[in-house]
């Protein structure tokens, strides 16, 4: 009988790398947000929710811009890290979400 190959536990091993990439992407997104706010509003400081002297529009614009930049940076970092792990190990570092969504082998798209 052939031996069963042990499935690699990459999701757990990937976590420290994912954490480091997430931290770095957050720092870069913060810098990008500061630069974008200066370009959009020509101001040094972006408003936050508790800034009494700023209106709803400014506060929500800043929050939307910041959220979008953080989401893009985090996704780019996660995707880059996952592709690097796959290239070096041959295994994607997260569980197959397609199988979970389709309920296993039934009804899934290929």
Q: Check residue 61 and give its pLDDT.
A: 92
Q: Check residue 108 and give its pLDDT.
A: 46
Q: Check residue 52 and give its pLDDT.
A: 93
Q: Check residue 79 and give its pLDDT.
A: 92
Q: Check residue 33 and give its pLDDT.
A: 94
Q: Check residue 106 and give its pLDDT.
A: 47
Helices of type H across 1-110: 10-41, 56-89, 97-102
Ordered mean pLDDT values, 10 residues apiece, the chain (110 residues): 54 78 92 92 90 93 94 93 87 70 51
Q: How many CB atoms lie within 10 A of CB 35?
A: 11
């Amino acid at each position: 009988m052939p031996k069963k190959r042990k499935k690699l536990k990459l999701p757990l091993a990937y976590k420290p790398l994912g954490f480091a990439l997430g931290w770095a992407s957050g720092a870069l997104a913060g810098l990008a947000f500061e630069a974008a706010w200066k370009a959009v509003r020509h101001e040094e400081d972006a408003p936050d929710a508790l800034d009494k002297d700023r209106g709803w529009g400014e506060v929500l614009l800043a929050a939307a811009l910041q959220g979008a930049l953080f989401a893009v940076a985090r996704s780019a970092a996660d995707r880059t890290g996952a592709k690097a792990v796959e290239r070096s190990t041959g295994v994607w570092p997260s569980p197959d979400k397609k199988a979970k969504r389709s309920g296993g082998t039934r009804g899934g798209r290929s």
